[in-house]
Amino acid sequence: MTAPLPAAQLRTRVRVPLRFPDGYATTAVVSSFHGLVDGREHLALALGEPAAVPLVRLHSECLTGDVFGSQRCDCGPQLREAVERITVAGGHLLYLRQEGRGIGLYDKLDAYALQDTGLDTYEANIALGHQPDERDYTAAAQMLHALGVPALSLLSNNPDKAAQLTRLGLTVAEQVPTGVHVSPANVTYLSAKARRGHDGLHRAALLADGTSEVPAG
Ligand SMILES: [Zn+2]
């Protein structure tokens, strides 16, 4: 058995109207927390009407993709899609401050530089002394408990997220796949993610999309 999850408490809840560059607009109730285990300033955005089993997305921060529209990954389109789908279904977007699969912003940029020499995203992380994926969802589980969400529908292509949440005492009633957002600049990254990683559903989506034949690196 794992140790019991320390309880987190809601700190502040505040309404924030959102508008995306394509004009899509919605309103989030943004929550902050006391007592998150990693001490980081994670946010929960409640969107849409409350649902019995809310749709939840765990989105790990990606400054380059979320803010600047970087084409090296699919984080920006994933975030945009999640906000709209959760607004329709009712649920929560957890914005987790674990940049670059948990390795941090500067190391993510170092990894990009290594990728430009021919390594894929996983090899580059290992070359920098990191695990391929250092994301941890313990704080996310604390946030969901604090929000009064014992069971959820998880918007993700990544089975590791569902497995971690289940180990942390949440009930993942359903896993809902996201779209795959392929661009010329991110197809290598997405192919490596499908081939190497935890994103089994992503692999299936890429195969369905016919893009899995693109060579990595
Ligand atoms: Zn990204």
Helix (H) or strand (E) holding 193: helix 187-196
C-alpha 3 to ligand 1 mean position (Å): 32
In this prediction, residue 92 carries a pLDDT of 98
**11 compared with 99, residue with greater pLDDT:** 11
C-alpha 99 to ligand 1 mean position (Å): 8
**176 compared with 183, residue with greater pLDDT:** 176
- pLDDT at position 62 over 80: yes
Q: What percent of the chain has pLDDT over 70?
A: 85
Q: pLDDT class for 65, splitting at 50, 70, 90?
A: very high
In this prediction, residue 79 carries a pLDDT of 96
Q: Report phi then psi at 57, rounded to 5.
A: -120, 130
- pLDDT at position 9 over 50: yes
Domains of the chain by residue range: 9-98+135-206
Active site residue ranges: 133, 135
Indicate the fold that domain 9-98+135-206 takes in CATH.
Rossmann fold (3.40.50)
C-alpha 13 to ligand 1 mean position (Å): 27
Give yes or no for a contact between 27 and 49, defined as CB atoms under 8 angstroms apart: no
